[in-house]
Each structure stands twice: as C-alpha cells, then as structure tokens.
Structure 1
Amino acid sequence: MGVGARVFVVDDEDAVRDSLQALLEVAGFEAQCFPSARAFLDWVAVDQIGCLLVDVRMPDIDGLELQRRVGATCPGIAVVMMTGHADVPMAVQAMKAGAVDFIEKPIAREALLAAIRRAVAHADERGRAAVERSSEEAKISSLSVRERQVLAGLVAGHPNKVIAHRLEISPRTVEIYRARLMDKMQAHSLPELIRMAVVAGVEPD
C-alpha cells in the first residue's frame, strides 16, 4: 500500500464521515467522502482505482446496491462494507458478491486500516489487470478476420499445418499471418502472443 492510496467513504451520517476521514488521512490515505451512494455514482469514473468504504444501510441506494453497480462498471474499485451487528447477514452477502471485507460498528481502528490496506492492494491489482485487458482488446480489434482465425488456432495449440488445413490455406501463408500477428500485437515471442490473446478473451479454435 503506497502513501496516498485513495479511499472513498460513503455514509449518510456526517459525524461518521468526518471521523473516518480524519482517521484515514492520519494513516496516510487520501480520503474522499460522499453523503450518499447517488453522490458517489454521479462522481466516480470507470477507470477510478481505490477502496470504497461504504455503510450497508443507507437511504435510497443501500451499500449492497452500490457495490453491485460499482462492480459492474469500475473494476479498479475494491469494496469494504461497514455494518452494525444486526446487518452481519447482509455483510456476508456483500462478501459473496465480491467485497474484500466487512467491518462491524463500532469500528476498531486497526481492523479498519488492515481491511483497507487489503482492499487497496486488491484494487491496484484489478486496476492493472483491467488496463492490460483493455490494451490487448484494442490490439485484437485491429486484426483482420483471417488474422483472428489464425490467432484462435494458435491459442488452441494447433501447429501451422493444422491451422492451414482448417482454414484451407498453405502453411507458408499461416507463417505470414503469424508474423503479422506478432507485429500488430507487439509480441516478442509466441508465448507472449498467446498470453495477450488469452487476456483479451480470445477463445481457442
């Protein structure tokens, strides 16, 4: 966890937001607070990276619904739920839906900071993966139909002769397509090309 990692606090109670912001900033985080899920959703960008610390029970849009919406649109944000004792079943539901952790109120400082550090590390990893996936998908989109067919054959582990037979082209032509793929995908080796294709979601032939 680097100094200045971002934590987004969503809670409808002013006193809770103020105390959490002070605690987080003293611990070296960059804290940004929102009074409602709606306010956060209106602000957040799809490429945002950080930890979302959110109360389960809020008016209008509750924590579980906010988690669902953020999970669908912001892959670089990891969620930590805050919950009262009676809300533990809801927090368990949040964990099953992908929350990194849940903190029971009244909040213990060290437990909160430990959960946020885990969430920040998780968010960084997911954010980097999302950026890589987007980059590889953009490269894939530049390929011709035939190049994609050859790439799918390579992902399946087929040798040039098999790919050539399936596509009804010569093995030499397959070699030419492989060279084009290496160039367009900016890959330095066949294993790297395959890894890029898998990251981008290319299915084997």
Structure 2
Amino acid sequence: MNSSAALLRESTDDGVVLVVDDDHDVRRALSGLFRSVGLASESFTSGEELLAHDFPDQPICIVLDVRLRGASGLDLQSHLNRAGKSASIVFISGYGDVPMTVAAMKAGAVNFIAKPFREQDLLDAVNEALQRDRDRRQASSQTQQLRERLDALTGREREVMKLLVHGLMNKEVADQLGISQATVKIYRGQAMRKMQARTFAELILMAQALGMVTPGTGSGGDGDPDTEAD
C-alpha cells in the first residue's frame, strides 16, 4: 500500500479515491481501475486503518465495502459523519440488502452498487461522488470567505446590515437604532463595501448564505431600502 505522503504527491484536483475493502484482490483491482483513468487511489483493509490516516486536501470519494471485518461500512460512515470528516461515499456490496441500502443513502451515501458490477457503472458513481465533494468544498470555501468579511464589520455595521436584509426600510432601521437615516446609509455603504457586494440584492444573497436570513423571507424584489422609503 502507498504511504500517505506518496498519495499526497500524486493527488490532483481530479480527486482521490480511497478504497476500503478487506479483500486484497478487490482492493488491487479497484485501485488499478481508478489509476487507469487518471485518478489517484489509496487502499485500506479496514475502516480503522482509514481513520488512522489524514485525508488529503482534495476532492475525495470513499469506495467502501458495506460488510467489513470489524467495524462495518455503515459504522465507518457514521463515525465519519460524527467526526465531521466530509467525504462522498460509494458503497459496494455482494448482498442485496435493501434496508442497509436505505440506511446508507439516508446517511449521505452517493450510491450503493451491488457486486458484480460493470466497471463503467462504478466509474460513473465515483465521478459523481467526486463532483459532489468538489462542489461541497467550493461552497464551503466561499462561505468561509463571506464569514471573514462579516467578521471585519463593526458591531453597528453588522446590526444595520441584519435589519436591512430582513426587509426594514432606512427609516425603520433609523427609528429602531436611534440614529438618522443618513447614518443608516453610511453604515449600509460601509457594510456593502466590506462584504464586496455590488448591489443590495447581492448583499441579501450573501446574508442568506451566512444564515442571517432565510431564503424567501425578508426583502422582496431587489430589496433596496432606498427604493422603498427614505
């Protein structure tokens, strides 16, 4: 088995496939399949062995045999979820266990493939899983950037922003905070500049991404308080 350092050296933005199966022949065949299409791959004999390794900072798909010696594939999935180790999982199994399939999918598995399977079916499932993880990582990175911008706001700027994105007009914000409408506009402009929002509608979308306001609530239309009332 390759070392973690070797895995990191060969990993690319295309993603990494981590194979967990207690059958040596299966591990070797699957790793060879993924490498043949240009995907970095590492194999593990058990969930415990996988958990002992640090995950590479790349899109990850775990191809996981549902029935392993020791902790089962479902146990490993549950452990990863509890530990906050996000990864897209494709289960493989030689058993047509419907309840197990349902449990795996409800817990976030991308696919559940029964043995024997076509290589292309597995590759399709792995590519879908990698794309999901890629999308998740991109969304997480964007949200982190927004959180950093939000942290740069002063307390008053954040207060004004929160009230405005919830649909209050400048006058209502001014009355609630005991400041002038002109001051509200100053704080709003500062908040938009620091959040890098080109329009007030974009600021609302950022607030939604940060969980400050629920999509579908708050300001309607473009929501710009200047177009509502001053």
After TM superposition, is the score higher than 0.5? yes
Q: CA deviation at 1:86?
A: 4.3
Where does residue 203 of structure 2 map in the other structure? 193
Q: Considering only aligned residues, what root-mean-square deviation do their CA atoms show, in Å?
A: 2.3
Runs of 4+ in structure 1 deviating by more than 6 angstroms, as ranges, are none
| Structure 2 counterparts to residues 10-159 of structure 1, below 5 A | 10-45=20-55, 48-72=58-82, 73-75=84-86, 77-159=87-169
**Runs of at least 5 residues in structure 2 that lack an aligned partner in the other structure:** 1-11, 219-230
Distance in 1 separating the partners of 2:106 and 2:196: 38
Q: Is the 8 Å Cα contact of residues 3 and 29 (structure 1) preserved in structure 2?
A: no
Q: How far apart, in 2, do the equivalents of 1:25 and 1:31 lie?
A: 6
- 8 Å CA contact retained: 2:165, 2:204: yes
> CA 1:65–1:147 in structure 2 vs 1: closer, same or farther (change >3 Å)?
farther
For 1:65-107, what per-residue CA distance to the aligned partner results, in whole angstroms no more than 9, with x for missing partners?
Answer: 32233345234x2111112224332122111111111111223
Cα deviations by residue, 1:90-130 (Å, 9 ceiling, x for unpaired): 12211111111111122321211111111111111111111
TM-score normalized by structure 1?
0.87
SS at match of 1:53: strand
Aligned length: 203
Higher relative contact order (CA 8 A, sep 6+): 1
The 2-side partners of 1:65 and 1:133 are apart by 30
2:190 pairs, out of 164, 180, 188, with: 180
Percent of pairs identical after alignment? Answer: 38
Offset, 1:203? 3.4
What's the TM-score once normalised by structure 2's chain length? 0.79
Name which one, 1 or 2, has greater alpha-carbon Rg: 2
Label 1:146 to 1:129 Cα distance change in 2 as closer, same or farther (>3 A). same
Cα distance, 1:173–1:3 mapped onto 2, change above 3 Å: closer
